[in-house]
Amino acid sequence: MIIHESVAEWMKASEGGDASARGLVPTMGALHEGHGSLIRQCVSDNTQSLVTIYVNPTQFENPDDLSNYPDSLQDDIRYLESLGVSDLILPRYKELYPFDFTLFVDESLDSKVLCGKNRIGHFKGVLSVVMKLINLTQARRVYFGKKDFQQYRLVSKMVEAYFMPTRIVGMETVRDEHGLALSSRNRRLSPEQLNLARQMNGLLRNMLLSTDEITRQLNDWGFRVDYCEERWDRRFIAAYLGDVRLIDNVEMTADVRAS
Ligand code: AMP
CB distance 38 to ligand 1 below 6 Å = yes
Give the pLDDT score at 254: 54
Letter for the amino acid at 21?
A: A
Residue nearest to atom 10 of ligand 1 (CA): 144
Average pLDDT for residues 80-91, to the nearest whole number?
98
Task: Indicate which atom in ligand 1 lies nearest the CA of residue 181.
Answer: 19
Nearest-CA neighbor of 7 among 97, 67, 140? Answer: 97
**Average pLDDT in the chain:** 96
Classify residue 9 as exposed, middle or buried by CB count within 10 Å of its CB (0-12, 13-18, 19+).
middle
How far does residue 175's CA lie from ligand 1's centre (Å)?
11
Ligand 1 centroid, distance to 16 Cα (angstroms)? 31
Q: Which of 139, 117, 120 is nearest to 50 (CA)?
A: 139
Q: What is the mean pLDDT of residues 163-178?
A: 98
Q: Is ligand 1 within 6 A of the CB of residue 149?
A: no
pTM over 0.75, yes/no: yes
Specify the long-range contacts of residues 236-244, CB closer than 8 Å, at least 24 apart: 236/114, 236/149, 236/150, 237/200, 237/204, 238/114, 238/115, 239/200, 241/189, 241/193, 241/196, 241/197, 242/189, 242/190, 242/193, 243/64, 243/65, 243/68, 244/185, 244/186, 244/188, 244/189, 244/193
Predicted confidence band of residue 258 (pLDDT cuts 50, 70, 90): very low
DSSP-assigned letters across all residues of the chain: -EEE-SHHHHHHHHTT---TTEEEEEE-S---HHHHHHHHHHHHH-SEEEEEE---GGG-S-HHHHHTS---HHHHHHHHHHHT-SEEE---HHHH-EEEETS----SSGGGSGGGTSSTTHHHHHHHHHHHHHHHHT-SEEEEEGGGHHHHHHHHHHHHHTT-S-EEEEEPPPB-TTSPBP-GGGGGS-HHHHHHHHHHHHHHH-TTS-HHHHHHHHHHTT-EEEEEEEETTEEEEEEEETTEEEEEEEE--HHHHH-
User: Which residue among 35, 39, 73, 150 is best mutated to probe the pocket of ligand 1, counting the most ligand atoms within 8 A of its Cβ?
Assistant: 35
**Which one of 31, 33, 146, 148 would you pick to mutate in the ligand 1 pocket, going by the greatest count of ligand atoms within 8 A of its CB?**
148
Candidate of 24, 55, 143, 147 to mutate for ligand 1, largest count of ligand atoms within 8 Å of Cβ: 147
In percent, the amount of the chain with pLDDT more than 90 equals: 93
Band (176; pLDDT cuts 50, 70, 90):
very high
* CA–CA–CA angle 53, 56, 59 (5° rounding): 140
Instruction: Give the Cα separation of 252 and 237 in Å (integer).
Output: 13
The whole-angstrom separation of Cα 19 and Cα 47 is 10
Q: What percent of the chain has pLDDT over 70?
A: 98
Query: pLDDT value at position 255?
Result: 53
Active-site positions read 35
Mean pLDDT, rounded, for 57-62: 94
What's the pLDDT band for 219 if we cut at 50, 70, 90?
very high
SS3 string, 80-129, reads: HHHHCCCEEECCCHHHHCEEEECCCCCCCCHHHCHHHCCCCCHHHHHHHH
173 lines ligand 1 (CB under 6 A): yes
Average pLDDT over residues 221-242: 98
> Which pLDDT does position 253 carry in this prediction?
77
Assess whether pLDDT exceeds 90 at residue 64.
Answer: no
The yes-or-no verdict on residue 158 having pLDDT over 90 is yes
